[in-house]
Structure 1
């Protein structure tokens, strides 16, 4: 996969201390990854890189919204998302990314690309079950909701609970109350 240059941070020329990098992520970013679940995207990404003498610490913070389809009604809506992640970049003999929050890069490395981390944080911030806010508060008027209501099983009220029980169990119920 080709590297997007705007998400590459050259850290070699930076002074020791904290440095802020801000990005605006839109739908084209996810099209690059061939991810098509989002109709529209508006995310603000801030990355605080703290350069230390032997390692780098990156703190990612993502906030904004993604336009997705509701799992119940298939109506599009804007889902707000927020996510944070800390990454430690250490220097070693060879590249190693088998740990979730530690990245080991070779000693001669002078830049780091963070596009994959932004992509994964954005995807993981979206809830597994996407429900339109209008479904939850009852304000969404949809044909699918009407059909679901029509086809849902009706709850019958138990008019006489005593009549619904099997008389053979009544004797056993007396044992519970005869203490």
Structure 2
């Protein structure tokens, strides 16, 4: 995959201490990754980059809105997302990203591309079941919801069935109360 230049941090020229990076993510970012689950995206990414003498620490925070399809009605809606992630970058003999929150890069490296971490952080912030907020509060009117209501099994709530029980159970209930 081709690396996007705007997500490359050249840390060799940076002074020791904290540095702030901000990114505005739109739909074209996900098109680059071939991810087609979003109709539109407007996400703010803040990265707090702390350069220390022996390692680098990154704190990612994302917040924004992605337009997705509802899993129940297939209606598009805006899903708010929010997530954060900490990454420690250490220096070693060879590249190693086997750990979730630890990245080892070779000693000679002078830059770090963070586009994959931003992509995964956003995608993992989406709920597994996407439900239109109009379904939960009852304001969404759609043909699919009407059809689901029509085809749903009808539950008869007759209280007399619950109150009347088999007389044989009464004898067993009496045994429970007599033992006390």
SS in 1 for 2:159: coil
Partner of 1:118: 118
Structure 2 gaps, min length 5: none
Instruction: Provide closer, same or farther for how the CA distance between residues 66 and 85 of structure 1 changes in structure 2, counting only shifts above 3 A.
Output: same
What's the offset of the Cα at 1:175? 1.9
Partner of 2:27: 27
Partner of 1:9: 9
SS in 2 for 1:153: coil
What's the offset of the Cα at 1:177? 2.3
**Corresponding position: 1:38 with 2:38:** yes
Partner of 2:83: 83
SS in 2 for 1:173: helix
Q: Distance in 1 between matches of 2:41 and 2:143?
A: 27
Q: Distance in 1 between matches of 2:153 and 2:19?
A: 58
What's the offset of the Cα at 1:58? 0.4
Q: Distance in 2 between matches of 1:126 and 1:61?
A: 14
What's the offset of the Cα at 1:168? 2.9
Partner of 2:177: 177
Structure 1 gaps, min length 5: none
TM-score computed with the length of structure 2 as normaliser: 0.95
Q: Distance in 2 between matches of 1:78 and 1:72?
A: 15
TM-score computed with the length of structure 1 as normaliser: 0.96
Q: Distance in 1 between matches of 2:156 and 2:26?
A: 49
Partner of 1:133: 133
Q: Distance in 1 between matches of 2:19 and 2:163?
A: 72
